[in-house]
Amino acid sequence: MSANRTAPQAAAGPGAVAGQVVVGVDFGTLSGRAVVVSVADGTELGTAVHEYTHGSVEHRLPATGAELPPDWALQIPQDWRDVLADAVPRALADAGVAPEQVIGIGTDFTACTVLPATADGTPLCELERFRARPHAYPKLWKHHSAQPQADRINALAEKRGEGWLGRYGGRISSEWQYAKALQLLEEDPEVYAATERWIEAADWIVWELTGAESRNPCTAGYKGIRQDGRYPGRDYLTGLNEAFGDFTEKIDFPLSPLGTRAGGLSARAAAATGLPEGIAVAVGNVDAHVTSAAARALEPGQMLAIMGTSTCHVLNSDVLAEVPGMCGAVKDGVVTGLWGYEAGQSGVGDIFAWAVRTALPESYAAEARERGISAHELLTEKAAAQPVGAHGLVALDWHSGNRSVLVDHHLSGLLLGLTLDTRPEEIYRALLESTAFGTRTIVEAFEAGGVPVTDFVVAGGLPRNRFLMQIYADVLRRPIDVIGSAQGPALGSAIHAAVAAGAYTDIRAASAAMGKVDKAVYTPDPDRADVYDALYREYRELHDHFGRGGSDAMHRLREVRAEARARRHSARQQDDAEVSR
Amino acid sequence: MSANRTAPQAAAGPGAVAGQVVVGVDFGTLSGRAVVVSVADGTELGTAVHEYTHGSVEHRLPATGAELPPDWALQIPQDWRDVLADAVPRALADAGVAPEQVIGIGTDFTACTVLPATADGTPLCELERFRARPHAYPKLWKHHSAQPQADRINALAEKRGEGWLGRYGGRISSEWQYAKALQLLEEDPEVYAATERWIEAADWIVWELTGAESRNPCTAGYKGIRQDGRYPGRDYLTGLNEAFGDFTEKIDFPLSPLGTRAGGLSARAAAATGLPEGIAVAVGNVDAHVTSAAARALEPGQMLAIMGTSTCHVLNSDVLAEVPGMCGAVKDGVVTGLWGYEAGQSGVGDIFAWAVRTALPESYAAEARERGISAHELLTEKAAAQPVGAHGLVALDWHSGNRSVLVDHHLSGLLLGLTLDTRPEEIYRALLESTAFGTRTIVEAFEAGGVPVTDFVVAGGLPRNRFLMQIYADVLRRPIDVIGSAQGPALGSAIHAAVAAGAYTDIRAASAAMGKVDKAVYTPDPDRADVYDALYREYRELHDHFGRGGSDAMHRLREVRAEARARRHSARQQDDAEVSR
């Protein structure tokens, strides 16, 4: 925290009044974070984190204990409310500012995290009759079991020549609104029928704050399929499923531009958070996209990579190009007036965590404990002691599927080059490298598609790993800029709140005053880059072989796995039924 | 041990005298084992194991501490002598028999384990002037750095249409005598020039026992290139390297049939072992091959798999066929009168040990310790709780290269199908399965090549894992017979000693009286076999893609690795030199 927490700010922004603050709240995968920020210059005055009680619900439904099928991931709305009630007042206390100093609140959310709700915004899972129904719960972004629906969405769009498909790189992801909704319809039609609103958590949380529904253009464009002012037509929807024809009615509501005021803080939300009633609530937004403002990466060509559990790439451009395999191109999707591009890697930090869970021997765990460092730090240190390529390994970073450029969540991870000498830190390093290769694949796709990438800026938790960042610099052969804040999304939300409250005229102005970035913190080493080039060639060969039809082994193995697990699942349900009899 | 250790045997073999015993000594990769066996019926009366002081020398030369290049594996001859001096008398004591009851000793060795020696049998590494020279030491079977030489050996043989190449499945292995000798010549010509004998450890140890050189047809055929009574000609050798033309002079000495008497135990060896001077010493032999006699697997069609660190497959047949990718077909190579076939998998138990070293989390290690079971037992138990295919994984068992059917030690291991859910026991199981798939590939190659496989018999340490054996039965869709001895090679050597001593007319008669096997201990389950068929198809697709030219990624990665390690190696040597200055 800054030392001069409560002191009036020296250099206030154009519309900022000394002492004014905004609150940004970032809803992540496992927790939510509130930050209190000076409107004048973006100084972060206080913060608090609230861990979700239920985290990411992947194995059993908390309400009943029933086992979930493979590749599911749900969340519990009350966990989100708890962030507002717990983290916001604590952040205020941490900042030592009075509630009256707060002129606005902004939020950002993981996406596509989407839920079925009634017309008054009540999540269906909170209705007594639906509490035991998994499909009534919010589906977290990494809910990955709607791939069959995504496949049909893409096949039909291609067949019908739907113009919007190219805007999404030719592939709609199973993570997004349409695939998840179609899965809901087909697996639990009763819950689908009761769904009056199919709404992003990003918008639902704003509804919680203002008491009135509002929708944002970012999730509508990137996670819905809204292009050129409209959603896909009824004919297309009924082609997917006769009963899907009414889907647009559940999502098509007026959009408000990013950074504008969605409404005033409701009395109920004011009571819960301790903030003044009526202050500006910014339109909903997405964690990655708001971070562009925090990292001052809003100009055309500046690619921001938000690196954590997964990585999201956000890039603005003054040109519209349809880049194969990118997540989406949305006008005004990041900042009003530019085409916002999004791409992503489904698994990054998640994969490193998997390596620690899976390939960290007892002696390594003991060494890390003894030295008071984390397992990640130990593995990084051991890995960094080796020259590039000495492990002889190459990995595919698809443990959680591939979001860009293949848009296929039924791909899986691969490790090649294993020998009896292969050590855990070598596997760890190969996994670090594989995510850098995944990023390079995305950067090259943008450039080949006509969207120049001039700068590479990183944010999120992973940039703390300096060795990882150097790998990225070497693999990309580019300098790496680093955001100057450890809480980029929350700062970005706060910046949006400042604009919504009228302290700045627009996001670019607010970003220039309140955002923070350190330029060229890492620069590439040509010798290491040469060896990485050789490894990257192997990565690309495997990428294309297993991802583009050379071998369909990953899909077939996933089917074998699904069948085996379905047999076990039904055997267990039989056991449960017998026990309860 | 049998309860009636010293009592006269009830049912003596035809030429056996009650109370007579033989000693079998098995020289393994890390230790040697002596067994004292009743001549009459093969009862194992006593045993002792001696661990080699230096084991497999892979990182630094003990004499100097100098670092070895990658893929080296050496041994120290004194370690072998120590087995004779330590384990043999202890086995006798354990058996409670008097030395006078011993009528013969037989030995078996890993192969190709080969060393340079003088004309009197002194290992060159024991000459003061060569003790610092890595190439003066015995090269262990798993010394894998002569692949470039093996590649040239094969290319030239193919180009010249050498008739013997087909007998080795079309590929001479880098593990064998010629590749290792050519590497010696090219990397240390001075040691090569001093090499008067290039001799298998299997023959060298018999020389130690009798004081006179003898050679056996098994290693000459399988590890040398002796076919139809002769070695490759001088023209071929000089085609490999002008200076290699004299190589035959270092290996071509008279052969004695397997199971015959190489000589009498020398006074020196009698003193060292405590055995009577002059008793029969059987001709040298190979661990896998002698085990056929112990497992009563000498008839045509009976395939014996000796499963341990690696797996060796031995199969007799009355037909000669040239099976692509098999290690070798040698007349009288296993039992006089039949064509003996050999095949193998370079890494099996080694790979499971790698998994325990690499992917055994701390909590698993603690659980195993608490329950007093081994890590292998714990992983097996967890893996066995899953239905076939539920892990969604397929692995290639090439961590130590592929001996059959691809004969390429620069291949490497692969894991495909990894997800964030993948657990250590699933990786472990996929590795168990991959070795069963490797075995199936070999069995199918024999049958497709015209050599029928009627029985599948297992020996070695791994058959103790019942889950693993059931996987093999399911994957092969065959019943599995199991040898009735825990010390098959040593028992096999003892059987050969009994024949050498004249107690039986031939190996088949001795095997019938002294060998032990339990038939059809495991039988396949059709439902599981169906799912394994699906996984095997994936294995074969990857096998052919990465092993047969679809992708050369493994070779390229090994080159990248070798270059990176060579840079580090030379950097370290420079460091060493600077320190010693």
Encode pLDDT of B306-364 as tens digits: 999 899 999 999 999 988 888 889 999 999 999 999 999 989 999 999 999 999 999 99
Is residue A112 less than 8 Å (CB to CB) from chain B? no
Q: What is the mean pLDDT of residues B162-167?
A: 94
What lies within 8 Å, CB to CB, of B322 at 6+ separation is B166, B167, B169, B170, B329, B449
Specify whether the CB–CB gap between B493 and B280 falls below 8 A: no
CA distance B354 to chain A (A): 6
Q: How far A196 CA lies from chain B's nearest CA (Å)?
A: 34
- Tokens 């497959």 identify what position? B313
Contact A442, A456 (CB under 8 A): no
Q: B60-73, pLDDT tens digit by residue?
A: 999 999 999 989 99
Which pLDDT value is given to residue A373? 98
Measured CA to CA in angstroms, residue B567 lies from A85, A425, B69 at distances of 58, 20, 11
Distance (Å, whole) CA B105 – CA B264: 10
Which of B346, B354, B419 to mutate against chain A (most A CBs within 10 Å)?
B419
Length of chain B: 581
**The pair of three-digit structure tokens given for residue A137, joined into one six-digit string:** 């719960």
Taking an 8 Å cut-off on Cβ atoms, the answer to whether A412 and B418 are in contact is yes
Whether the Cβ atoms of residue B26 and residue B490 lie closer than 8 Å to each other: yes
Give the Cβ contact number of residue A228 at 10 Å.
8
For residue B519, how many other CB atoms are within 10 A of its CB?
Answer: 11
Q: What CA–CA distance (Å, rounded) separates B396 from B389?
A: 16
ipTM: 0.86
Q: List CB contacts (< 8 A) between A531 and chain B.
A: 560, 564
User: For residue B385, what is the DSSP state?
Assistant: T
Contact A446, A453 (CB under 8 A): yes
Is the distance from CB of B381 to CB of B368 less than 8 angstroms? Answer: no
User: Is some CB atom of chain A closer than 8 A to the CB atom of B357?
Assistant: yes
B180 touching A, CB under 8 A? Answer: no
Contact between A412 and B415 using a beta-carbon 8 Å cutoff: no
Q: Out of A70, A391, A415, name the one closest to residue B414 (CB).
A: A415
- Side-chain-side CA neighbours of B496 within 13 Å: the count stands at 37
Contact A108, A314 (CB under 8 A): no
Average pLDDT over residues B147-170: 94
- Report which residue type is found at A220: A
Q: Which residue of B has its CA nearest to A567?
A: B387
- Within 13 Å, how many C-alpha atoms sit on residue A530's CB side? 5
Residue A514 structure tokens: 């309140």
Mutate to test the interface with B, among A67, A414, A416 (most CBs of B within 10 A): A416
Cα A547 to its chain centre, rounded Å, is: 22
Q: CB of A482 within 8 A of CB of A521? A: yes
A542: nearest CB among B399, B553, B563: B553
Cβ within 8 Å of B, A 409-448? 412-424, 427
Average model confidence (pLDDT) across chain B: 94
Q: Looking at the complex, does the CB of residue B271 fall below 8 Å from at least one CB of chain A? A: no
DSSP A232: P
Per-residue pLDDT, averaged over B400-404, amounts to 91
What chain A residue is nearest to B388 in terms of C-alpha separation?
A: A564
Contact B399 A422 (CB under 8 A): yes
Query: How are beta strands B413-418 and A413-418 bridged, if at all?
Result: antiparallel
Band of pLDDT at residue B12, cut at 50, 70 and 90 = very low
Is the peptide bond preceding residue A453 cis, with omega within 30 degrees of 0?
no
Of A423, A418, A422, A463, nearest to A439 by C-alpha is A463
Q: What is the pLDDT of residue A579?
A: 56
The alpha-carbon gap from A565 to the nearest alpha carbon of chain B, in Å, equals 6
Full pLDDT tens readout for chain A, 581 residues: 333 323 333 334 455 567 999 999 999 999 999 999 999 999 999 999 999 999 999 999 999 999 999 899 999 999 999 999 999 999 999 999 999 999 999 999 999 999 999 999 999 999 999 999 999 999 999 999 999 999 999 999 999 999 999 999 888 989 999 999 999 999 999 999 999 999 999 999 999 999 999 999 999 999 999 999 999 999 999 999 999 999 999 999 999 999 999 999 999 999 999 999 999 999 999 999 999 999 999 999 999 999 998 999 999 999 999 888 888 899 999 999 999 999 999 899 999 999 999 999 999 999 999 999 999 999 999 999 999 999 999 999 999 999 888 988 889 999 999 999 999 999 999 999 999 999 999 999 999 999 999 999 999 999 999 999 999 999 999 999 999 999 999 999 999 999 999 999 999 999 999 999 999 999 999 999 999 999 999 999 999 999 999 999 999 999 999 999 888 877 777 766 665 55
Question: Looking at the partner chain, which of A361, A535, A568 has a beta carbon nearest the beta carbon of B560?
Answer: A535
Q: How many CB pairs under 8 A join A and B?
A: 182
* Confidence class for position B5, pLDDT limits 50, 70, 90: very low
Task: Pick the range with the lowest mean pLDDT from A109-118, A228-237, B376-385, B567-576.
Answer: B567-576
How many Å apart are CA B418 and CA B364, to the nearest integer?
20
Query: How far apart, in whole angstroms, are the C-alpha atoms of residue A244 and residue A242?
Result: 6
Residue reference for tokens 């002792």: B48
The torsion angle over the Cα atoms of residues A130, A134, A138 and A140, rounded to 10 degrees, is: 170
Is-contact A146 A179, C-beta < 8 A? yes
User: In the predicted model, what is the mean pLDDT of residues B441-464?
Assistant: 96
Distance CA B399, CA A239 (A): 50
DSSP characters for A105-161?
EEEEE-TT-EEEE-TT--BGGGSGGGTT-GGGSPBPTT----HHHHHHHHHHHHHHT
Query: Which of B354, B390, B567 lies at the smallest CB-CB distance from A387?
Result: B567
**Alpha carbons A381 and A473: distance in angstroms, whole number:** 18
Q: How confident is the model at residue B15 (pLDDT cuts 50, 70, 90)?
A: low
How many other CB atoms sit within 10 Å of the CB of residue A77?
20
Query: Which among B389, B400, B556 has the least Cβ separation from residue A563?
Result: B389
The answer to whether the bond into B112 is cis (omega within 30° of 0) is yes
Gap from B114 CA to chain A (nearest CA, Å)? 22
> Contact, B227 vs B295, CB < 8 A?
no
What are the start-end ranges of the H helices in B423-506? Answer: 424-448, 466-476, 488-500
Whether B541 and chain A come into contact, CB under 8 Å, resolves to yes
- Beta strands B339-345 and B311-317, pairing class: antiparallel
Evaluate whether B351 touches B436 at the Cβ level (below 8 Å).
Answer: no
Dihedral of alpha carbons A529, A535, A541, A545, sign: negative
Verify whether the Cβ–Cβ distance B354 to A560 is below 8 Å.
Answer: no
Residue range B196-217: average pLDDT?
Answer: 98
Nearest to B387 among A354, A361, A564 (CB): A564
A contacts of B529 (beta carbons < 8 Å):
none
User: Which residues from chain A sit within 8 angstroms of residue B419, using beta carbons?
Assistant: 399-400, 412-413
- Per residue, the 3-state secondary structure of B107-148, as one string, reads EEECCCCEEEECCCCCEHHHCHHHCCCHHHCCECCCCCCCHH
Q: Which two tokens stand for residue A2?
A: 């800054």
Chain A residues whose CB is inside 8 A of the B546 CB are: 416
CB burial of residue A357 (10 Å; 0-12, 13-18, 19+): middle
Q: What are phi and psi of B519, to 5 degrees?
A: -85, 145
Instruction: Give the C-alpha separation, A414 to A425, whole Å.
Output: 16
* Per-residue pLDDT, B579: 56
A296 with A459: CB under 8 angstroms? no
| Spatial distance between the Cα atoms of B546 and B557, rounded to a whole number of angstroms | 12
Half-sphere exposure of B400 (CA within 13 A, CB side): 28
Report the pLDDT value the prediction gives residue A16, as an integer from 0 to 100: 59
User: Roughly what angle, to the nearest 10 degrees, separates helices A375-384 and A424-448?
Assistant: 80
Distance CA B546, CA B414 (A): 10
A 551-580 residues with CB below 8 A of B?
551, 553-554, 556-558, 560-561, 563-565, 567-568
Q: Output the pTM of the full model.
A: 0.86
Among A509, A377, A431, residue whose Cα is nearest residue A16: A509
The predicted pLDDT at position B70 comes to 87
Residue type at B269 in one-letter notation: A
A520 contacts A478 by C-beta, under 8 angstroms: no
